[in-house]
Amino acid sequence: METESEKATIGQEIGKAVLQGAALGILLGIAFAGGYLFNHLTTQANSSEISLELIREADSLLAQYYLYDLPGEDVRIHGAVRGLVASLEEPYTFFVEPQAAEVDTTNLAGRFGGIGAELGRDEEGNFVIVRVYRDNPAYEAGVQAGDIILAVDGVEVDTSDPDMNGVLSAIRGEVGEPVVLTLQRGEEVFDVEIIRAEILLPSTFWELVDEDPRVGYIQITRFTERSPEEVRQAIRELQEQGAQAYILDLRNNGGGLVDSAIGVAGEFLDGGVILYEQQANAEERVFNAPRGGSAVEEPLVVLINAQTASASEIVAGALQDRGRATLIGQQSFGKGSVQRIFPLSDGSSLHITNAQWFTPEHHRIEGAGLTPDVVTEPQEGVDVDMTAALDVLDESLTVASQPTG
């Protein structure tokens, strides 16, 4: 999903207020009372002092009378913040705990200190190495795809965690520092020490299409800080290999950084509007593409589906409205709101919806999505979108090659 990562004092103040006001916190994330209390608090206009006192009272009563052991202070405080945010009943304003916030930040940056391996889960729920990137620390240490991660630096991994943020956060760290993984390979269990290096997390993959080497295929999985430069590199290399047209694949791309999306769209446009942004009680902002994109004339098709969302919808919507590309696939997700990220004092973060987007023709993305120019019906085992894209581009290239006069 897209974000405008900004360090803001208001975010720090929010974190400070929650930490100080909640004292030891309250049991909001565990009992239904949490959602009720904070919903009640947020309806009291200009009553912050009363609200903070109410939190203290509730916490004191819980400490005095609750039958069972209370969760740790950080768990209760985070539960309090989640209860506050949940009262808004808006899915894209949410609280992210420290470990997940750290992983999200490094992913969006596209670079971090790590080992150069992709993690996943097997059918039993184990954390496993899915892919090892060549010429990276894990590869050089002999780690293999299929290895099961049992522990990191002697601490057993918790397979009950619903996501991989805890494991990822433990494996990542300062460049040059060691990390010890306890791995299982078949029946063998062993430790391997790996020295972390800077890992560049690619967001863009490209190649000439086997069925038609005149066509360059560019896939963007997420919009990170490095995406615009990766797309420029992709176009440059594909042009050197003879590409005369392009397929930009944004299927299953859930978004990322807005600035990166604008930069990518600008590679296929020679100036002009990319999107409009509307904030509450503010004038509409216009975002324009810079002049001199690297592929502004070649035939272009953009692939989208129901998981194409947010920043990827910005790119697809701009290229469609500007008449630059043919959209092929299925209706996109329809997330056109903007979230600012406010880092909080304990390393967590608060994502707050504060604006929404419109395409160059002022089509609203939020709740509507984008309608492809060519609608396809997915078929198991067949990439109908690619087939349709190659048909469209073959026609465009044929027309372009015909003599005029």
In our burial notation (b when 16+ CB lie closer than 10 A, e otherwise), range 343-356 reads bbeeebbbbbbebb
Q: How far apart are CA 398 and CA 266, in angstroms?
A: 26
Residue 342's beta-bridge partner residues?
Answer: 350
Catalytic residue among 59, 147, 249, 321: 321
- Per the CB < 8 A criterion, the answer to whether 333 and 306 are in contact is yes
**Residue 206: in which H helix or E strand, if any?**
strand 204-209
Q: How far apart are CA 305 and CA 330, in angstroms?
A: 4
Residue 339's beta-bridge partner residues?
Answer: 353
Classify residue 342 as left (phi > 0), alpha (psi -120 to 50) or beta. beta
Rounded to 5°, the CA angle 325-328-329 comes to: 150
Q: Which residue has the tokens 């889960």?
A: 121
Q: How far is CA 101 from the centre of its chain?
A: 11
Catalytic residue among 5, 87, 332, 335: 335
Q: In 282-347, where do the E strands start and end?
A: 285-288, 300-304, 326-329, 337-343
- Per the CB < 8 A criterion, the answer to whether 360 and 366 are in contact is no
Catalytic residue among 5, 310, 332, 348: 310
- Per the CB < 8 A criterion, the answer to whether 308 and 251 are in contact is yes
Annotation says 321 is catalytic:
yes
Please give the span between the terminal C-alpha atoms of the chain, in angstroms, as a whole number. 49
According to DSSP, the β-strands at 148-152 and 178-185 are antiparallel
Under DSSP, the state recorded for 160 is T
- Catalogue the active-site residues: 310, 321, 335
